[in-house]
Amino acid sequence: MTKEDWEALRTLATSSMKNAYAPYSKFPVGAAALVDNGRMVSGCNVENASYGLTLCAECGLISSLISSGGGKLVAFTCVDISGNYLMPCGRCRQLLHEHGGAELQIMTDTGIKALSELLPWAFGPEEIERRLD
Ligand code: THU
């Protein structure tokens, strides 16, 4: 990933953030990721009057990934209204792990981190496969 690649992800995340539906928190979020086949996917948060049903931007991104043909996420970024990087919440780290694995690269305020640093000792599909053997 070059600096330009990361900037392209930030630009896409920012454009998706502008479509966020966040009337309750007033905290629009956009997420974007590079897929291993070279395409990019994105998502924004979608809130609900029943607050707990809120879909994070990452949920939309994963849905978009799968509905547009799938693939493995290799690099991910998430931004707020000012374009500042956000850390994915705990649930979304698990979602990202399912489709990006421990090596997924994530841009943060303190540089690029592997998902394994954000979600150590993760439970993933390989745990299930191992036990079903
Ligand atoms: N949010 C995301 O979209 N992704 C995250 O990883 C953190 C939180 C959204 C959910 C809610 O709509 C708003 O940010 C405030 O929590």
Active site residues: 58
Q: Is the CB of 46 under 6 A from ligand 1?
A: no
pLDDT at 133: 67
pLDDT at 34: 98
pLDDT at 120: 98
Expressed in angstroms and rounded, the spacing between residue 6 Cα and the centre of ligand 1 is: 21
Ligand 1: which of 14, 16, 29 to mutate, most ligand atoms within 8 Å of CB? 29
Q: How many domains does the chain have?
A: 1
pLDDT at 65: 98
Residues of the chain with pLDDT under 50: none
Expressed in angstroms and rounded, the spacing between residue 78 Cα and the centre of ligand 1 is: 10
pLDDT at 131: 83
Find the CATH number of the domain harbouring 53. Answer: 3.40.140.10
Q: Range of 16's domain?
A: 1-130
**One-character DSSP codes across the chain:** --HHHHHHHHHHHHHHHTT-B-TTT----EEEEEETTS-EEEEE-B--SSGGGPBPHHHHHHHHHHHTT---EEEEEEE-TTS-B-PPPHHHHHHHHHHH-TT-EEEETTEEEEHHHHSTT---HHHHHHHH-
